[in-house]
């Protein structure tokens, strides 16, 4: 069993006119010479579909110096049409990411949810503040995660 202390959120760094399914990323990473293929454990597509990459028990390849003790989650997007870093998550992706991270957080209660850029300041990935956005998923009250889904819903409706 690996000890998981970090859940690292990434973007796949593709423009809105490009796709990045788990299968595509697997091909890209194999071309880079990674024999185990896709470096992420999960890929969240624009339509909110969650695709699996490496099994959770297997060490990923997504964040230098942190792979052995982390799970890598990647959303499809992260660049605007000009190829500049941007938070391009769709509503479906935001919902799916929250659901996936909540499930992971329940499995790995002591793990922190962070963005790639929080561990490597040279990266813009995942192009939003994952620590801030998912801090409520990190909170554990009386040894149990808080009911963050309801709180999340309330916040979303305020934003519109």
Instruction: Supply the residues annotated as catalytic.
Output: 10, 40, 116, 123, 125
Compute the least distance from the CB of residue 41 to Zn ion, in Å.
13
Cα 3 to chain centroid distance, Å, stands at 18
Compute the least distance from the CB of residue 141 to Zn ion, in Å.
30
State the residues that interact with Zn ion by CB under 5 A.
10, 116, 125
Cα(150)–Cα(56) distance, integer angstroms:
27
Q: Which is nearer to Zn ion, 75 or 108 (CB)?
A: 75
Q: Which residues, including other chains, have CB under 8 Å from residue 56's CB and lie 6 or more apart?
A: 2, 4, 41, 71, 107
Compute the least distance from the CB of residue 122 to Zn ion, in Å.
11
Q: Which is nearer to Zn ion, 84 or 147 (CB)?
A: 84
Q: Which residues, including other chains, have CB under 8 Å from residue 101's CB and lie 6 or more apart?
A: 7, 9, 73, 113, 134, 137
């Amino acid at each position: 069993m690996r000890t998981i202390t970090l859940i690292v959120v990434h973007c796949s760094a593709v423009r809105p006119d490009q796709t990045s399914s788990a299968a595509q990323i697997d091909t890209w990473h194999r071309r880079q010479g990674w024999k185990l293929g896709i470096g992420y454990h999960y890929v969240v597509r624009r339509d909110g579909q969650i695709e699996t990459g490496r099994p959770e028990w297997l060490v990923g390849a997504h964040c230098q110096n942190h792979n052995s003790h982390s799970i890598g989650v990647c959303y499809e997007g992260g660049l605007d049409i000009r190829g500049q870093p941007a938070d391009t998550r769709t509503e479906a992706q935001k919902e799916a990411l929250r659901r996936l991270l909540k499930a992971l957080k329940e499995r790995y209660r002591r793990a922190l949810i962070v963005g790639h850029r929080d561990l490597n300041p040279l990266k813009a990935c995942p192009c939003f503040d994952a620590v801030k956005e998912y801090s409520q998923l990190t909170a554990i009250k009386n040894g149990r995660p808080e009911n963050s889904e309801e709180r999340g819903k309330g916040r979303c409706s305020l934003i519109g």
